[in-house]
Structures are given as structure tokens and as C-alpha cells.
Structure 1
Amino acid sequence: MAKHANPDADILDEVQEPVNEQVKGRSLWADARDRFFKNKAAVVGLIVLFFVTAFAIFGGLISQYEPQTVDFSLMGAMAVNGSPSIETGHYFGVDFEGRDLYARVVQGTRVSLMVGVVGALVAVVVGTLYGAIAGYLGGKTDDVMMRLVDVLMSIPFMFVLILMLVIFGQSIFMLFLGIGLIAWLDMSRIARGQTLSIKNKEFVEAAIATGVRPLTIILRHIVPNLLGIVIVYATLLVPQMIIFESFISYLGLGVQEPSTSLGALIRQGTQQMNNGTLWMLAYPLFFFLITLFAFFFVGDGLRDALDPKDR
């Protein structure tokens, strides 16, 4: 009898129950994922990145030659007999020294991706922590830390990187270190601006009231809430790191033999353009361009998906 005492209340409960289930099923990341996969350019970029990464990791398994193996039978006849051929096993042809270009492009793509990802990772970690600390502490500490960033940003980036490579030696490690430790400046300013708006939120004030230490608040409450902007910036930073590395390698100051990168391969290809060996430039340039465009498309898609104004 009590169940039918108020039929309007029973109807209201039946209507609200599925609505509550729908609201409970949605989350910020689920919404961002749906928005990302609706962006066709971003999805295509993600697919291209998957294949480029698979090529860099597993491409050497189908190569019949090592990156440093020289085919002496082609010396002096590169333009005639060194062109791309499945029969000879030189799928992308050979380079100016008779080495298999396919194996070299696989190695160069792997090195360029490593430089981009590791450099962006160093920049994001250092910049996020630095900016979060400056924004949370505020006051004179914030002023001093950000004025230091302004001074460092006034110094030409490429000049510092080239100077580091000349003084400390040309190696992949110095390339990682130089690119990563200089590229964090922009990330620190972004993280600091976001922290200024987050540190006044209720959950941060509750943590302060319970006696949580400032460093713990920064690591457990501030930094996780910067994750969205950090992911977007890191995705857009990777192609910039690849461009910087390629430019340095194009000048001859980057990756040195026996290793190689896409920038070094492009430099060697441009030097052989007048010898009828255009494939030496075409293949590394192709992988360089599709990698850059894929990262840019994915970064734009993530930025649109995680932008709160569009939601």
C-alpha cells in the first residue's frame, strides 16, 4: 500500500534513475576522448605516428643490410645501379658511400624520435615542476624565479645549444641535455599561469588546512591538475625538438657517425642532388615531414579535446 501512496513520486523516481545513470557514466577524460576521435585529422595523425614508430622499432627486421654495411660493388655507379630495388635488397637505394639507405632511414627515424620524445620529456618535467613551485609559493620567490626565466629566454636558444655541443662534445647525450634543459622555459611559464588559478581552489585550501606540506600539495594536487595542458604542450613540443635536432645535424654538429638522424640524412641527400640520386633526399625527407605533420595534427586534436571553453 505504501508503494502506491504517492504515484507521482514513483514516476519521478523512474524518470530520474536513467538520467542519473547517464550523468554518472560521463567523465572529463571520456568526453575528451570522444572529442579527439571525432577530429579526423588528429586520428589520421595518430595512425601515421603508430606506423612511423613501428617502422623505427621493427623496420630493421626486414632489412637485408646493416646501417654501416658498404656495398662495394656499387662504388662509382650509384646513379645507375644504386637506385631503389627490391631485387638487390636496397629498398630505398643506397647512400653516397654505398650503404643501404633503408637501414639508415630506420636508424635515423629512431634517433630523431628519441631526441624529440626525450627532449620534450625533460622539458616538460623540469618546466612543470619549476612553474608549479613558482606559482604556488608566489611573492618574492615567484618574482625571482620568473625573472630568471625571462633572462634565460632572452638568450638565443640555438646559440646556446651550438655552444654546448662545441664545448662539451658532439654526442646524443649532450643533444638530449641541451635541447631539454633549454626548451623547459616556455613550459614553466604555462605551468606557473595555470598554478595561479589552481592554488585558490577548495581542495588546495582543504589540504593547507589539514597541515599538508607545500611540496606534497604541489606534487599531489597542483601537478596532476596540470596534466591536460602538459599533455598538449608535450605533443606540440616533440616536433619542435625534432626540427631543432635536424637543424643541428644539418649543420654537422648533431648526431655523428656511425649513428645518423633524419637531419643528417637530409643534409647528405642535398649534397648529392646534382648527381642523379634524388632518392637519397626523398626518403628521409618524406619520413621527416609525415612525422612532423602527424605530431602537429595530434597536438591540435588534443588541444581542442581538452579545451574547457569548447566543452
Structure 2
Amino acid sequence: MTHVTNVETAEVVKGRSLWQDARARFFRNKAAVASMIVLILVSLFALFGGMLTPWSNEEIDWNLMGDVRTLGGPSFETKHYFGLDPLGRDLYARVVQGTQISLMIGIVGALISVIVGTLYGATAGFIGGRLDNIMMRIVDILMAIPYMFVLILLLVVFGRSIFMLFVGIGLISWLDMARIARGQTLSIKNKEFVEAAIATGVSTPKIIIRHIVPNLLGVVIVYATLLVPSMIMFESFISFLGLGVQEPLTSWGALINEGAGQMRYGTLWMLGFPLFFFLISLFAFFFFGDGLRDALDPKDR
């Protein structure tokens, strides 16, 4: 028996996965890439910005305490890079802390929404039937309750704290994610890989976690990036009303509130610096989320 072996030089063509294709599409979006760079810089400012100043966020410069409006402006000589706040504290250190707290609230709120909402919606969509109807009616009832009213009520009744902000945000923020996850689950629950898992006897929780949820990651990631600025805006609005974090802690909303109250005295730096970080971060999150949405949209591939 003769075996003829013909060895030829073959060019191996490597295909790109969907995630590699999405990454290439994302990096072609200049606005999204620029927004990602801005977010990285803002995060580095929050993490390491406090190392660049000798002042703490609570320390008062007693030498300038009585002349904040005239001598409390931004100065490299006194190392008050962003000037002083109305109480004579270093505004740069306050903005660093405000950035830390606002980003933390936005990211933690988004994580709560993504984890709870995705599991809830995937469970309702996959199981279906009466359980699906009951679970989604609960979502409809909760969505009918005014979100800001609940958050303000919690802060008034149980006291202002970061923990209560997390609780208030976590109670309501996952509802939209649950509806999105349910809709996506309904579109993939009858796919071949899910039917194969059911046929081989895989339990329902494992199917949801190992097969349904991973196929929702694209939508989940996009929604999370767009949810972070919403959480930051909610927190800033609450802090602007004076119901947010308590002194000596601060956030972008609290700093903007303080700065807006001092505008008539000509101390524009008290409003300008926190407002600048607030705006560039929000725009960066929105453009970054739009870039991810365009990169992960299967209709555009």
C-alpha cells in the first residue's frame, strides 16, 4: 500500500474572534479612545493625586483663612494648586477626595446594577412562564416608584452616609438591567448550545451562569459604562441638595454646591475645578460607552 505524502508550504490564515474584532473596531473610534485616555488620567488623579500636595483635605491654612476671597486663589507658591475652599481648606486635596468618592459611587452602583440585574433578568427570561410574569411584574411595580424620592427618603430617615447612598442606588438601579438581560435571554434561550446543555442534564443555575450570562457580556459591559455617569449624576444631584456625603468627606456634587454659593464673591475657582472634572468625566464615560456599543454591536460587524 503506497502512501503519497505531498508536503507543501501552506499559509495559515488566522481568523479573529468576535472580541478581537470588537477591539479593533473600538480603537478605530478616535472619540472613544480619547475618552478612555481621559478616564485613565482621571483615575490616576484620584489614586495618586494626593501625593502631589502637602495639604490634606481637612487641613486649614490659617495664614489665608481670613482672606480666602482675595488671597485664596490658585497658587503654586503656597502649593494650593486649585486655591482654597470657603473654609480655608486646600481645594486640590478636596477635589482629589471628591473624585475618589464620586467614581467609587458610580462604579459600585453600576456593579450592583449589573450583577443583580443580569442574574435576575437572565433567570426570569430563561425559566419563563408564570415565574417570569411574577418577576417582571415586581420590576414594573418598583420602576413605578420615584427613584429620587426613595433615595432622598432613605437619606433623611437613616442619615446621610456613603453606605446609605449605596443602599439607595442598589435598590433601584438594577431594574433597567434586569429588563435588558431578560430580553437578550429570550433571544438566545432556544439556541443550539443551550438546548444541548439541557439535553445533557445540566442544571438550570449552571446553564444560566455558564451559558446565558457569558453571552450577555457585550450588552452588560456597554450598559455598565453608560450607567456609571448616571450614578455619578444622581449622587452629585443629591449632594448638591445637601443630602449627600457628610463633612469632612466630599464629592463633586458637594464641591459644586459650595462653589456655586460663592460665585457672587468672584471666587470662580471654587466652582470651576470640580465642575471641570465632573464634566470631562461624564463626557468621557458617555463617549467610551458609545464606542463600546458600536464595537460590540453585532449588526455592524
- TM-score, length-scaled by structure 1: 0.94
**Residue by residue, what CA displacement relative to the aligned partner does 1:190-223 show, whole Å, maximum 9, x if unpaired?**
0000000111011111111111110111011101
Kindly indicate whether the alpha-carbon contact (under 8 Å) linking 1:56 and 1:107 is maintained by their aligned counterparts in 2. Answer: yes
Is 1:251 aligned with 2:247? no
Structure 2 match to 1:94: 84
- TM-score, length-scaled by structure 2: 0.97
Percent identity over the alignment? 70
Which deviates more from structure 2 when the two are superposed, residues 90-99 or residues 167-176? 167-176
**Residue by residue, what CA displacement relative to the aligned partner does 1:136-186 show, whole Å, maximum 9, x if unpaired?**
010010001101111111111100111111122211011012112211000
Structure 1 match to 2:19: 29
Unaligned runs of at least 5 residues, structure 2: none
Partner Cα distance (2:285, 2:143) in 1: 25
Q: Determine which of 174, 182, 192 is the counterpart of 1:202.
A: 192
Structure 1 match to 2:112: 122
Partner Cα distance (2:280, 2:131) in 1: 43
Structure 2 match to 1:271: 261
Partner Cα distance (1:203, 1:186) in 2: 27
Deviation (angstroms), 1:25: 3.3
Unaligned runs of at least 5 residues, structure 1: 5-9
Which deviates more from structure 2 when the two are superposed, residues 29-38 or residues 66-75? 66-75
Is 1:53 aligned with 2:43? yes
Structure 1 match to 2:139: 149
Is 1:161 aligned with 2:151? yes
Partner Cα distance (1:141, 1:164) in 2: 30
SS in 2 for 1:25: coil
Kindly indicate whether the alpha-carbon contact (under 8 Å) linking 1:119 and 1:177 is maintained by their aligned counterparts in 2. Answer: no
Give every structure 1 segment of 4 or more consecutive aligned residues whose post-TM-superposition deviation is greater than 3 Å: 1-4
Which deviates more from structure 2 when the two are superposed, residues 274-283 or residues 73-82? 73-82
Aligned residues: 299
Structure 1 match to 2:53: 63
Q: 1:98 to 1:148 in 2, by over 3 A?
A: same
How does 1:8-19 map onto structure 2 within 5 Å?
17-18=10-11
Deviation (angstroms), 1:3: 5.7
How does 1:77-92 map onto structure 2 within 5 Å?
77-92=67-82
Structure 2 match to 1:179: 169
Structure 1 match to 2:277: 287
SS in 2 for 1:93: coil
Deviation (angstroms), 1:276: 1.4
Structure 1 match to 2:288: 298
Query: Match for 1:47: what amino acid?
Result: I
Partner Cα distance (2:81, 2:197) in 1: 60
Partner Cα distance (2:5, 2:146) in 1: 77
Which deviates more from structure 2 when the two are superposed, residues 147-156 or residues 237-246? 147-156
Structure 2 match to 1:7: none
Larger Rg: 1
**Residue by residue, what CA displacement relative to the aligned partner does 1:242-280 show, whole Å, maximum 9, x if unpaired?**
000000000011111010000000000000001111000
Kindly indicate whether the alpha-carbon contact (under 8 Å) linking 1:121 and 1:180 is maintained by their aligned counterparts in 2. Answer: no
Partner Cα distance (1:67, 1:167) in 2: 28
Partner Cα distance (2:172, 2:160) in 1: 17
Partner Cα distance (1:239, 1:283) in 2: 18
Query: Match for 2:110: what amino acid?
Result: A
Is 1:73 aligned with 2:63? yes
Kindly indicate whether the alpha-carbon contact (under 8 Å) linking 1:131 and 1:188 is maintained by their aligned counterparts in 2. Answer: yes
Query: Match for 2:104: what amino acid?
Result: M
Query: Match for 2:174: what amino acid?
Result: W
Partner Cα distance (2:164, 2:185) in 1: 31
Partner Cα distance (1:92, 1:308) in 2: 45
Measured on the aligned residues, the alpha-carbon RMSD in Å equals: 1.3
Q: Determine which of 212, 217, 232 is the counterpart of 2:207.
A: 217
Partner Cα distance (2:171, 2:231) in 1: 12
SS in 2 for 1:84: coil
